[in-house]
Amino acid sequence: MGDGAAGSTERTGWAGVWTLPNLITVVRLGCIPWFLWLLVAQDDRTAAALLLGALGATDWVDGWIARRFDQVSDVGKVLDPTADRLLLVVALVAILADGSIPIWFGVAVLVREVLVGLGALILAGLGARRIDVTWWGKTGTFALLWSVPCFLAGESTIVASEAFAVAAWTFGLPGLAIAWYAAWGYVPAAASALRDGRAGTTGRGDGGAD
């Protein structure tokens, strides 16, 4: 989960752009229209849920590769949480419109993602240094990226749809609580990042919180 790792040497410049984890993240972003086509145009909840689940799983894969093969990069630290947020928001809006997820749950996740995303943009605009993604933030997002496709699968014709419905709540409730806890934890981190940025500390303006 995520592209950061304590003790890893971060790649910078072009070496930090052309990495396998970043390629995986770009592919994930490219699959978002495919997911929408399956769900909206084809009305195929099963295929859409399976694709979304696979995209959520790769959130762990690219992070593991980055840490295992020393491919952690500044680009990845921004690109990975951005892809997570975009994937989650687009999927939630589509699945809310489809009626496959409880409205209160979907809205609670969307509000959190919008607030954190806007906060990151505002901090970047004010010149704050980048806030690295926390373990709690990645864990909450990872759980939600599993929960959302399970909600969709639970309303599909897939085998064991009832089990997927149970899994949706199993991942969803803890994931939602952890995600909001992480969002609250970014408040003091944001204040510190803004002070450091205004003081001229390096690593400014990327706003990578998840």
User: Mind listing the pLDDT tens digit for each residue in 93-144?
Assistant: 999 999 999 999 999 999 999 999 898 889 888 888 878 778 898 899 889 9
Higher pLDDT, 115 or 208: 115
What's the chain's average pLDDT? 85
Single pTM value for the model: 0.79
Q: In sequence order, what DSSP letters do the residues of 142-182 get, joined into one string?
A: HHHHHHHHHHHHHTSSSTTHHHHHHHHHHHHHHHHHHHHHH
Residue 73, SS3 per DSSP: strand
- Yes or no: say if 21 and 65 are a contact pair by the CB < 8 Å rule: yes
In the chain, what are the domains? 13-198 (1.20.120)
CA distance 129 to 158: 45
- How high is the pLDDT of residue 53? 93
Could you tell me which of 88, 121, 90 has the C-alpha nearest to residue 207? 121
CA distance 151 to 182: 23
Q: If you ran DSSP here, which 8-state letter would residue 3 be given?
A: S
Higher pLDDT, 206 or 38: 38
CA distance 130 to 55: 25
Cα torsion at 131, 135, 140, 146 (round to 10°)?
A: 120
Could you tell me which of 108, 35, 23 has the C-alpha nearest to residue 66? 23
Residue environment code for 137-176, b if the CB has 16+ CB neighbours within 10 A, otherwise e: bbbbbbbbbbbbbbbbbbbbebeebeebeebbeebbeebb
Structure tokens at 161: 């749809």
- How high is the pLDDT of residue 161? 94
Average pLDDT over residues 177-198: 89
Higher pLDDT, 34 or 65: 34
| Amino acid making up residue 106 | G
pLDDT tens readout for residues 20-58? 888 888 999 999 999 999 999 999 999 999 999 999 888
CA distance 56 to 143: 9
For tokens 């995520």, name the residue: 2
